[in-house]
Amino acid sequence: MELISSNKSHGGTQGVYSHLSEATGTEMTFSVFVPPHEDGQVLPVLWYLSGLTCTHANVTEKGEYRAACAEHGIVFVAPDTSPRGADVPDADDEYDFGKGAGFYLDATKEPWSTHYRMRSYVEDELPALIARSFPVDMERQAITGHSMGGHGALTIGLRNPERFRSISAFSPIVAPIQSPWGEKAFSRYLGDDQSTWAQYDAVSLIEGGARPAALLVDQGTADDFLSEQLKTGLLALACRKAGIDAAIRMQEGYDHSYFFISTFMAEHVAWHARHLKG
């Protein structure tokens, strides 16, 4: 692991790091905020997964999470959205596929399967590195994300309920099987057999029996992607049918941007803190 940058903030340290990933076969970059803490103290972890076209830098620079994480004593980890590098296949003229659009899955179709293994990276490899390198208590983890990263947070959290005490999301793609973004990505990364898609679809996972310990979703009503791509109502319906007491909040007038995310980020951190410390 190589340190790229380090800055003091809110009494803690905001770092950016890189390492060679076995899962993706590329160099990967991620950021970690470690709040002020006593020597020898270990802290709970909140994972943040970013959306289409983004990297770790979007939330690191615009997410406004550090004050809340310092207040509640939470380590904040933000990985990249996809593998990067000259040898990594891409779709140069398609913002919603290829680099920046890994969809937090393990691709099974060539040429994508060699490097596009973001599920293995986020679920297994990076947590092991974080556990070795930072003062974290891996028995207390939570996960959140935005848009495509909200999809990642929901599906990774639902597949690993023993690991994550709470799940939240901002403007998530809740049913990518029924979304043009998801249909495009899944058919090319995973192939045409839609039975393999359900493990990466939050609504399908809930319909199949997955249950979160705690779930919070914020969605802006002025989000241009709401009706065609995000389809928040499908998640609300699936939760009602499953008897899941989820907090799915429609926030009047907010769009898809980090102006929206930063407005509610402190609430999400505080909400996760209650579950991580409870």
What percent of the chain stands above pLDDT 90? 99
**pLDDT for residue 31:** 98
Q: Which of 80, 106, 201, 223 is catalytic?
A: 223
**pLDDT for residue 278:** 76
Number of structural domains in the chain:
1
**pLDDT for residue 97:** 97
Please write down the HEC assignment for all residues of 45-106: EEEEECCCCCCHHHHHHHCCCHHHHHHHCCEEEEECCCCCCCCCCCCCCCCCCECCECCCCE
Residues 112-151 have pLDDT tens digits of 999 999 999 999 999 999 999 999 999 999 999 999 999 9
- Annotation marks residue 147 as catalytic: yes
Residues 206-226 have pLDDT tens digits of 999 999 999 999 999 999 999
Q: Which residue has the tokens 């490899």?
A: 125
pLDDT band (50, 70, 90) for residue 6: very high
**pLDDT for residue 86:** 95
- Annotation marks residue 115 as catalytic: no
Domain that holds residue 169: 2-276
Query: Using the 8-state DSSP alphabet, how is residue 124 labeled?
Result: I
- The pTM for the full model equals 0.98
Q: Which of 21, 31, 147, 166 is catalytic?
A: 147
Q: Which of 56, 146, 256, 268 is catalytic?
A: 256
- Annotation marks residue 275 as catalytic: no
Domain at 160, CATH number: 3.40.50.1820
